Structure 1
Amino acid sequence: MLFFLLLWTLLRCADLFSITVPSDPVLAVRGATALLSCLFESDSDPSKLVITWQRVEDMRVVHSYYHLKDQLERQSADYINRTQLNYNEIAKGNASLSIATFGLKDAGKYECVVSNTKGTDKGTLQLNYAAIYSEPRLSIHLKSSNVTVQYETEGYPQPEVMWFNSGGQNLTNHQEISSASDEGLYYLKSSYVSQNPELNITFTLKNPAAHQELQRHLILNYEGGQSSSSSVAVLSVLCLCLLLSTGVLLYFYCRGKPAHKPMLNNHH
């Protein structure tokens, strides 16, 4: 009876030990340092503490700590020289891990496993990836029949893009989005075509994952077109008239000029 009571007490104590990880997905931005939070109840013997971080998808070892130091012999090559625990906080019950230069391949599920004299527990958190979209690059293409305004930018994930006129009406636009590259970026081209060379429009890009919103306002006044063609035509007519007038003047000048008579020699 005493044995079962002791076993029940040990199991109950083990159940009381638990770790805490974020329940909501954690966002990490491209190139920044991601923080994976993991808290536990510390004990009086830190030498018994074991901390293991690993990927849930394939059980790759991300970081290991025991015997009061890092144990990285089995660490995945993808994380070498990129992971770090907060050693000043470990004794206080903080097993949080930082991952430097975060990229698209680092996104996924991570498992934190902690063991000490009070018990063992594990928790799983989701780490999401996003990349801030770069400053949109503007190009304007003028044709005889229309004008095309285009913005190009890179980021992640696929954004929400809209064009508006001065009245706030959503305009139909064309978009080209290439798949994410090895660098973890989408390449976006978004353009609007108008038959009217005078534009007052707004380009809007939203990247909710990264809490980013861009707005670029464009006013375009084009005074070329028909007026320029007319000027060229008028100039051509004037040049033609000048040539004709010059030809007529030369004709009459040549007709009115007296002919030179040959000199006669007087023979005595």
Structure 2
Amino acid sequence: MMGNVPSFSPGTAVSSALPGYVALCLTLQVHRLASAQFTVTGPDRPIAAFVGGEAVLPCHLSPRMSAENMELRWFRSQFSAVVHLYRGGRDQYGQQMPEYRGRTELLKDDITNGIVSLRIRNIRPSDDGQYKCFFQSGVSYEDAILEVQVAGQ
């Protein structure tokens, strides 16, 4: 019984599948490394703001590295709900939600250390809630969640 091995040549079946499998493993490994290059951290408590005042939403990279050539995006519930976008070394206002137009400023004094903050002026009751701060460099990206609590509504 033991001698009755099914008649196919194992060499060809295995070797034809192997290169694809090896390539897949390498690709997964590269992506795993890429996504772990840095982490993004926001404040550990909600940011208090008052109607008519301003809020500063800080985010920073660990380990410290320059974010000058990264894409930085603050958004609300969806990636496309852009509060502020910085890409290609400058602020981009084309995709910004109309309700934030003219009210946001990216504070870049410490961007070479991976520390940036978004200032939102003339706070409105609708600014209350969650924001995501998203950093992307090549295929690597990470984000952090921030909470703004608007008082005096």
Closer/same/farther in 2, CA of residues 89 and 44 from structure 1, 3 Å limit:
closer
Residue in 1 aligned with 2:9? none
Distance 1:58 1:115 in 2: 13
Question: Deviation of residue 76 (structure 1)?
Answer: 1.1
TM-score normalized by the length of structure 2: 0.73
Query: Which ranges of 4 or more aligned residues in structure 1 deviate by more than 6 Å?
Result: none
Residue in 2 aligned with 1:82? 103
| Contact 1:45–1:117 (Cα < 8 Å) also in 2 | no
Distance 1:58 1:2 in 2: 34
Question: Deviation of residue 2 (structure 1)?
Answer: 6.7
Given residue 126 of structure 1, which amino acid in structure 2 is its aligned partner?
A: E
Match of 2:58 among 15, 34, 37: 37
1:160-187 residue CA offsets vs partner (Å, 9 max, x unmatched) = xxxxxxxxxxxxxxxxxxxxxxxx3xxx
Residue in 2 aligned with 1:12? 33
Match of 1:107 among 111, 118, 128: 128
Closer/same/farther in 2, CA of residues 38 and 44 from structure 1, 3 Å limit:
closer
| Contact 1:25–1:126 (Cα < 8 Å) also in 2 | yes
For the aligned residue pairs, the C-alpha RMSD in angstroms reads 2.5
Give structure 2 stretches of 5+ with no counterpart: 1-20
- Is residue 46 from structure 1 mapped to residue 68 from structure 2 by the alignment? yes
The within-5 A match list for 1:112-261 is: 112-117=133-138, 119-131=140-152, 184=153
Structure scoring higher RCO (CA < 8 A, sep ≥ 6) equals: 2
Distance 1:44 1:103 in 2: 32
Match of 1:22 among 19, 43, 67: 43
